[in-house]
Amino acid sequence: MTMSDAHEEGQRSWTRRGWLSAAGAAVVGTAIADGTAGASGAAQPAQTPAAAPLPLTEFEPKSMLHVAETTVQRARFPVIDFHTHVSRRRAAKPPVPPAELVKTMDAVNLRTMVNLTGGFGEDLSATIATFDRAFPRRFVSMTEPAWTRASEPGYAQWQADEIAKAKAAGAVGVKVLKTLGLYLRDGGPTGKLVTVDDPRFDPMWEACGRLGLPVAIHVGDPEAFFLPIDRFNERFEELNAHPDWSFHGKDFPSFKEILDARDRVFAKHPKTTFVALHVGHWGENLAAVGAMLDRFRNVHVEIGARIGEIGRQPRTAARFFDKYQDRILFGTDAIPLGTETPQQVFGEDLYRIYYRCLETEDEYFDYAPARLPPQGRWRIYGLGLRDQILRKVYNENAQRVLGMKLV
Ligand SMILES: [Zn+2]
């Protein structure tokens, strides 16, 4: 790219200018190329070779901060990961055999993995046989609604009955994916989106309360996924790489409409225990999550795949953990394999990042075991939580919600 290209590019793209300004030496070249160096600066910096423009995807700054680095090999107390996905559907072999998972679990003091996506019917039975029964207290599995039948007549009662059968088969809860509110449509792919508070699910929510099965619910997605994929979007790189993750435009409800519908479900079923995954679906706004927890005594939150949100606001987050220490569950959203979402790939590195954030006061470290921060260009800080809070978040709250002694 020539200087004049760089000049035009600079005029067009605030984003590029923005990060180049942060890139130290590169700013000199840019300023000159743009002709924006001050009168006094014009002469001297010209001696410095101008750095070539650099695509954002290739920018990998190494922190020059010299601060404490603590490796937390094992959690201070036994951990229950309330948010994992370790089984496959249709009796397929698990991507990683459970015995292998257990070795890693032992290395990081992870006592139990709650496998949320256990499916239903035969899938659920196969999952429970392979994981829960083969490795008691190391794995427990939840069932899922049969979304594909949701438009059929008689679904509401059928689904409620199916939940009871799942409990009899050994399921410890019900998982609701973001399918509800964002993908599930009546009458095929072009049909109308089914809302989170659609009354056809009322018998299911009630059955969960009656049977003592907690509902692990995920609706919505990060707030930025509901905004345009543009230079102002803090998750631009992630969305640019996965445009299908965007819920902006089309007939998608707004972020707020989804949360409002969810809250109506919480309000309508006060005897049902809900665990709102991903920090109550709004890790970017802990004040709003706190207000939601104040309103609904039947709701807990879980922190999976949001350590990057918690850790970038360490003071606000530490206060949040202090105030809601009985309502927060540890989770990671771990999946055994894959590279697309490094913030979720199961392994010792993943857990050590969570432990470091919760247990230490380390500063400015990566929130994912990845070359680049996958969810946004920032780093995180430790909260240094007290033992009393760690015990609750690591295992006591989850055991109470599940009604099981696991640790
Ligand atoms: Zn998940």
3-class state of residue 150 by DSSP: coil
* Ligand 1 centroid from CA 64, angstroms: 34
345 alpha carbon to ligand 1 midpoint, in Å? Answer: 11
Question: How would you classify the pairing of strands 328-329 and 299-302?
Answer: parallel
Q: pTM (2 decimals)?
A: 0.88
Check residue 119 and give left, alpha or beta (phi > 0: left; psi -120 to 50: alpha): left
Compute the distance from residue 84 Cα to the ligand 1 centre, in Å.
Answer: 6
Q: What is the pLDDT along the chain (407 residues), one digit of tens a residue?
A: 333 333 333 333 333 333 433 443 333 333 333 434 444 444 455 567 778 999 998 999 999 999 999 999 999 999 999 999 999 887 678 889 999 999 999 999 999 999 999 999 999 999 999 999 999 999 999 999 999 999 999 999 999 999 999 999 999 999 999 999 999 999 888 999 999 999 999 999 999 999 999 999 999 999 999 999 999 999 999 999 999 999 999 999 999 999 999 999 999 999 999 999 999 999 999 999 999 999 999 999 999 999 999 999 999 999 999 999 999 999 999 999 877 889 999 999 999 999 999 999 999 999 999 989 999 999 999 999 999 999 999 999 999 999 999 99
SS3 call for 369:
coil
170: CA distance to ligand 1 center in Å? 20
- Burial class (CB within 10 angstroms; exposed 0-12, middle 13-18, buried 19+) of 170: middle
Q: What's the CA-to-centroid distance between 7 and ligand 1, angstroms?
A: 44
Kindly report the number of other CB atoms within 10 A of residue 22's CB atom: 12
Q: How far does residue 85's CA lie from ligand 1's centre (Å)?
A: 7
Beta-carbon neighbour count of residue 175 at 10 Å?
25
Cα 65 to ligand 1 centre (Å): 33
224 torsion bin: left (phi>0), alpha (psi -120 to 50), beta (else): alpha
Distance 83 CA to ligand 1 centre (A): 6
